[in-house]
Amino acid sequence: MKRLFFCLALLAAVFQAACGGSGSTQPPPPPPPVGNFSNASLMGQYAFSMSGTEACGRTGSFFGRIGTFTADGNGKITGGVEDVNVCSGTSTLVLTNGSYSIQADGRGTLSLTNITGTTNYSITLSTISQGSIVQTDSTVTAGGSFQKQDTAAFSITMIASGYVFDFSGVAFDSSNNLVQQSIIGRLDADGGGGILNGLFDSNTAGVLSGQLAFPSGAFYQLDAAFPQSGRGTANIAGKNLTFYIVDSTRLKFLSSNLDFPEALVGDAIAQLNTSFDITSLNGPFAFLIGGGSTAGPTSTAGRFTTDGAGNLTSIVIDENNNGGLTPLPSSGGTVTGSYTVDANHFGGGTATWTDSKSGTFSFIFYLASPAKAVFQETDNNITSDGSFLAQTSGPLTASSLAGNYAFNWNGVSTGEDDFVGQMAITTTATSNISGAMDFNLFGLGKQFFNYPFNGSLTLGTDPTGRNTLMVTTTPSPQTTYKFSAYAVDANTTFLVGVDTSRVIAGMNTRQP
């Protein structure tokens, strides 16, 4: 991107957890991959979503892509349809061909062909039901996720629940500038295309709407033209959107032609049918958000503990604001915080913490359950969103964190950078990481495939807080990526880059 939108890919990943001249570069081959995946692991119909940067004119431009493909378990893509929102407009494109290849470690490649040509991707499966995806064309990079679809849910009556949602991308501000926007909220889908109790908060380049009820005209409907795709259209929070159903608990959204040139991408996930209050949050949480500020792209990860009574404690965070690093607690500082949950019991709320030296950090959230929420920063000039998830009550140790992980990172250095790969973490004290990855550096116009790396995961004194993960690519010239790592549990870890030369964030998801 050289922009602020890697958060979109982060968002997709979080939902997944919750539920020199252009060209390509091939290093010496990495060691043979280890694992139990194969082409047969990718079989059936999958919904995908991603966002990133495309070359348009002579600059980079934000774009989004959602859709569905069907894999035959034998390396062929047999069908699908996708929606793209690019700089010249929006299109709905039928997939006419495609292929894929999956290695034993879950890493692989995918190509999708439509009437305009073929687009290429690198993927990593975390399970046979889901994975991460990066577009690896020389003129486009993007990051996102895909999940197996439940075709039985392709009925309007199956979309009948409360949902929380998080959309982000570019939209018009009050001065008619296209700037970054994040919208989070919740709604009740009535099973017949109607939407009730819609609430949302928008953050448009740091200008906050406050919590609003949906304007009139909210709806959702399936598209009869593509009955086997789970495709539909909707109006949510005043935005016109296209969506694809993953299952009755998850939908993927992209701004439709009606709102062009605005472009928002995001997911909605089912909300637990309960009456939320202050006691709904009681225990430790880890979070990851990404977006932008006046300085440029920003990402923050961390953890906090809620007490069921409105108090936040044990707050530890790492913010990377376009290379400017702010860890909390600050050196010699202390952090105190509080939270509220809305009196209407729909799961909205606020969180605020103040570092005695770095100032106040403010957020809003919508709870999907007492263990999961969409999360948006609301400080002046910051537009950043993602999720928080309940941290494990079990021990986080070198032993419990050892294993194989699929990962995706998205960020910005000289342009948007998107990475997808697999790493093995062992129980040794140092040099305990090895793996391989593909990545697309838009600023350089270069794609890198099968890049091996080594590294280390070093646990902090309290592993529920800040840990350190470092990865160094082994081909020369070596590049080292340093992260602060916040474990959600033994299966999922949030990562935020703490290098001053780039902003990068992502997550590790354990493979079976």
Partner 1 sequence: MKPVTLTRTSSVFLAGALLLAVVAGAQQVRQQAQQTVKPRASAYDPNRDMVLEGTVLKYTENSSVPPVGAHVTVETSSGPVDVHLGEARFLKFNKFTLTEGGSVKITGQNVSYGQGTTFLARIIQQGRQALALRSVNGAPLWLAGARAQRGGVQKSQQAGAL
Site for partner 1 in 427-456 (CB under 8 A): 443
Total chain residues near partner 1 (CB under 8 A): 106
Residues across the chain: 512
Matching residue, tokens 């993960």 = 469
Q: Which residues 6+ apart lie within 8 Å of 85 measured at CB?
A: 63, 64, 65, 254, 255, 256, 260, 263, 265
Task: Find the shortest distance in angstroms from Cβ 343 to partner 1.
Answer: 7
Task: Find the shortest distance in angstroms from Cβ 231 to partner 1.
Answer: 17
Query: Is residue 503 within the footprint of partner 1 (CB under 8 A)?
Result: yes
Q: How far is it, in rounded angstroms, from Cα 313 to Cα 306?
A: 7
Q: Which residues 6+ apart lie within 8 Å of 282 measured at CB?
A: 306, 307, 308, 370
Q: How far is it, in rounded angstroms, from Cα 437 to Cα 452?
A: 7
Which has the closest alpha carbon to 345: 210, 203, 197? 197
Helix (H) or strand (E) holding 198: strand 195-204
Query: Contact region for partner 1 (CB under 8 A) — 30-38, 123-131, 338-346, 482-490?
Result: 338-346
Query: Is residue 114 within the footprint of partner 1 (CB under 8 A)?
Result: yes
Range list of β-strands (E), 128-191: 130-137, 140-148, 162-172, 178-189
Task: Find the shortest distance in angstroms from Cβ 340 to partner 1.
Answer: 6
Task: Find the shortest distance in angstroms from Cβ 392 to partner 1.
Answer: 29
Q: Which residues 6+ apart lie within 8 Å of 437 measured at CB?
A: 107, 407, 419, 420, 421, 422, 448, 451, 453
What character string, x for contact with partner 1 (CB under 8 A) and - otherwise, covers 394-433?
Answer: ------------------xxxx------------------
CB nearer to partner 1: pick between 265 and 396 = 265
CB nearer to partner 1: pick between 54 and 166 = 54
What character string, x for contact with partner 1 (CB under 8 A) and - otherwise, covers 49-88?
Answer: ----xxxxxxxxxx---------------------x-xxx
Q: Which of 3, 231, 252, 372 binds partner 1 (CB under 8 A)?
A: 3
Task: Find the shortest distance in angstroms from Cβ 24 to partner 1.
Answer: 14
Determine contact, residues 114/95, Cβ cutoff 8 Å: yes
Q: How far is it, in rounded angstroms, from Cα 317 to Cα 375?
A: 14
Query: Is residue 356 within the footprint of partner 1 (CB under 8 A)?
Result: no
Q: Which of 364, 367, 488, 496 binds partner 1 (CB under 8 A)?
A: 364
Window 174 to 203, contacts with partner 1 (CB under 8 A): 175, 177-180, 188, 190, 196-199, 201
Task: Find the shortest distance in angstroms from Cβ 448 to partner 1.
Answer: 18
Task: Find the shortest distance in angstroms from Cβ 45 to partner 1.
Answer: 21
